[in-house]
């Protein structure tokens, strides 16, 4: 049974007005995120309101994990980039990629370019690495005709839902991510590392603590041990923060998994996840983790011009299948290292 909570923002309960009465705040049922900020008066622009209220926004983000800016009259990627820069950080490039994306402008990227009929499971951006963006912004230029929502889930609540014995095991052992790069099999290493220069790949791996091995032809194999859960540096809260449930072979459709196993050895799969000591993560353990995400999933509809701001450690995100055209772009800032 899918226990995700669907939120209709138009019916949200109004909580209070901003102190200057220029922006109103609202939440979903039972105070669920995201916190929605909307102009209380016509003609209020982000350019004038945001700089004066940045500290207040930051504190609300650390409290709720997600803020949705709606009806602020943002038009196009350029204005979205200006919006993101208001928070005082340079936009990050998307290196050491896990999914296919294209650069739109500067360091603004398309959201993950998976087929429209495919669900992207909830995850924290780059939680498969040792460095990640602290904030991630989504801008909806064109909402899908049907579906295409960006569901979210509070990583603190996901952590709390997971069996403590499982949590403790993951925290103690950590997670090993294994990837095989081969042209035509998942992403190539030139796409993931954004270079065709092997020496640059090696330098990145040395810096990031990634074991690497060049194989025959143009193939590369990497291994990296990373965190399973971490303490948020501002709030002090434990959060579930990894992508084992995405990288593990059990995340694939049974037919795809069967095809891979008939062609490749386990250590040759495009991607897989193990406990940090190299031992196998049990399928049933990963399914219990996926269940925790499902139970904490919150879905809300996009509207044109919306900006969703997430604390990437506090809030996981995903994507629902959709029909029709959909244009959502992404910006990331403030690297945690």
Q: What is the CATH architecture assignment of 5-116+128-148+300-336?
A: 4-Layer Sandwich (3.60)
Q: Omega of the bond prior to 34 within 30 degrees of 0, cis?
A: yes
Q: Are 229 and 159 in contact (CB under 8 A)?
A: yes
* CATH 3.60.130.10 placement within the chain: 5-116+128-148+300-336, 158-292
CA distance linking residue 237 with residue 235, whole number of Å: 5
Q: Answer whether CATH 3.60.130.10 is correct for domain 158-292.
A: yes
CA distance linking residue 94 with residue 228, whole number of Å: 22
SS3 assignment, position 145: coil
> What is the spatial order of strands in the sheet that 315-319 belongs to?
5-6, 298-299, 152-154, 315-319, 120-123
Distance of alpha carbon 328 from the chain centroid: 13
pTM value is: 0.90
What pLDDT tens digit does each residue of the chain (337 aa) get?
445 554 444 334 333 334 457 888 888 767 788 999 998 877 777 777 888 899 999 999 999 999 999 998 888 999 999 999 988 889 998 878 777 778 788 889 988 878 888 899 999 999 999 999 999 999 999 999 999 999 999 999 999 999 999 999 999 999 999 999 986 777 889 888 989 999 999 999 999 999 999 998 889 999 999 999 999 999 999 999 999 999 999 988 888 888 888 888 888 888 999 999 999 999 999 999 999 999 999 999 999 999 999 999 999 999 999 999 999 999 999 999 7
SS3 assignment, position 160: helix
């Amino acid at each position: 049974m899918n226990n995700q909570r669907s939120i209709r923002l138009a019916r949200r309960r109004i909580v209070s007005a901003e102190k200057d009465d220029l922006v109103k705040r609202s939440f979903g049922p039972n105070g669920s995120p995201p916190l929605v900020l909307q102009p209380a008066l016509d003609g209020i622009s982000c350019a004038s309101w945001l700089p004066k209220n940045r500290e207040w926004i930051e504190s609300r983000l650390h409290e709720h994990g997600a803020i949705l800016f709606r009806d602020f009259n943002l038009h196009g990627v350029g204005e979205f980039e200006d919006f993101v820069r208001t928070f005082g950080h340079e936009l990050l490039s998307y290196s050491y990629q896990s999914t296919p994306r294209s650069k739109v402008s500067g360091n603004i990227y398309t959201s993950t370019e998976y087929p429209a009929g495919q669900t992207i499971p909830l995850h924290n951006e780059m939680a498969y690495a040792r460095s990640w963006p602290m904030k991630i912004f989504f801008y909806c230029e064109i909402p899908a005709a049907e579906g295409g929502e960006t569901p979210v889930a509070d990583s603190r609540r996901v952590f709390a839902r997971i069996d403590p014995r499982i949590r403790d095991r993951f925290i103690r052992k950590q997670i090993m991510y294994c990837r095989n790069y081969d042209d035509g099999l998942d992403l190539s290493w030139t796409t993931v590392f954004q270079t065709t220069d092997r020496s640059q790949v090696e330098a990145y791996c040395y810096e990031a603590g990634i074991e690497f091995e060049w194989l025959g032809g143009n193939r590369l194999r990497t291994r990296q041990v990373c965190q399973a859960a971490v303490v948020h540096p501002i709030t002090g809260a434990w959060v579930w923060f990894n992508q084992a449930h995405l990288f593990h072979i059990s995340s694939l459709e049974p037919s795809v998994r069967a095809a891979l196993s008939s062609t490749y050895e386990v250590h040759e799969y495009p991607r897989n996840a193990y406990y940090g000591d190299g031992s196998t993560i049990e399928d049933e353990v990963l399914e219990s983790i996926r269940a925790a995400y499902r139970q904490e999933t919150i879905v809300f509809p996009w509207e044109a011009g919306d900006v969703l701001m997430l604390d990437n450690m506090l809030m996981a995100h995903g994507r629902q299948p959709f029909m029709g055209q959909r244009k959502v772009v992404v910006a990331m800032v403030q690297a945690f290292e």
